[in-house]
Amino acid sequence: MKIMIISSKHHYYKIPEIKQELEKLGHIIMLPNSFDEPFKEEDMKKLSPEEHSNWKKQMMLLHEPKIKQNDAVLVLNLEKNNQQNYIGGATFMEIVKAWELEKKIFFYNPIPDNIFKDEILGINPIIINQNLNEIEENIEVEIRSFITKEKYNELLEFFENNSKKIKEDHQETFYFDSNEDLRIQKSDSHSKIWLKKGKIHDDYREEIEIKLNKEDFEKANKIFEAIGLNTKIKWYRLRNQFDWNNIKVCLDYTKGYGHIIELEKLTSNKEKEKNLEELKQKLNQLNIPLTPKQEFEDKFKHYEQNWRELIK
- 38 vs 299 pLDDT, higher one: 299
DSSP class of 132: G
In angstroms, the CA 290 to CA 74 distance is 35
At residue 295, the pLDDT reads 94
What average pLDDT does this structure show over 99-113? 91
At residue 38, the pLDDT reads 67
Contacts of 29 (CB under 8 A, 6+ apart): 3, 4, 5, 19, 22, 23
Confidence bin at 203 (pLDDT 50/70/90): low
Query: With 80 as the cut, is the pLDDT of residue 207 above it?
Result: no
At residue 191, the pLDDT reads 93
At residue 20, the pLDDT reads 93
Confidence bin at 45 (pLDDT 50/70/90): confident
Give the residue extent of every domain in the chain: 2-136, 139-310
Query: With 90 as the cut, is the pLDDT of residue 76 above it?
Result: yes
Is residue 253 a contact partner of residue 152, using CB atoms and an 8 Å limit? Answer: yes
104 by DSSP, 3-state: which?
Answer: strand
Pick one of 3.40.50.970, 2.40.320.10, 3.40.50.720, 3.40.50.170 as the CATH number of 139-310.
2.40.320.10
First to last CA, the chain: 40
In angstroms, the CA 268 to CA 81 distance is 31
In angstroms, the CA 94 to CA 101 distance is 10
Query: With 80 as the cut, is the pLDDT of residue 139 above it?
Result: no
Confidence bin at 280 (pLDDT 50/70/90): very high
At residue 209, the pLDDT reads 82
Name residue 106's beta-bridge partners. Answer: 74, 126
At the top level of CATH, the class of 2-136 is: alpha beta
Q: Which of 126-130, 202-206, 249-253 has the highest mean pLDDT?
A: 249-253
Query: With 80 as the cut, is the pLDDT of residue 205 above it?
Result: no
Instruction: Give the mean pLDDT of the chain.
Output: 89
Query: With 60 as the cut, is the pLDDT of residue 104 above it?
Result: yes
Query: With 80 as the cut, is the pLDDT of residue 195 above it?
Result: yes
Q: What does the pLDDT look like over 259-274, one tens digit per residue?
A: 999 999 877 677 788 8
In angstroms, the CA 245 to CA 159 distance is 11
Q: Which long-range contacts (CB under 8 A, 24 or more apart) does 301-307 make?
A: 303/233, 303/256, 303/257, 304/232, 304/233, 306/256, 307/233, 307/234, 307/235, 307/256
Query: With 90 as the cut, is the pLDDT of residue 143 above it?
Result: yes
Domains 2-136 and 139-310 share a fold: no
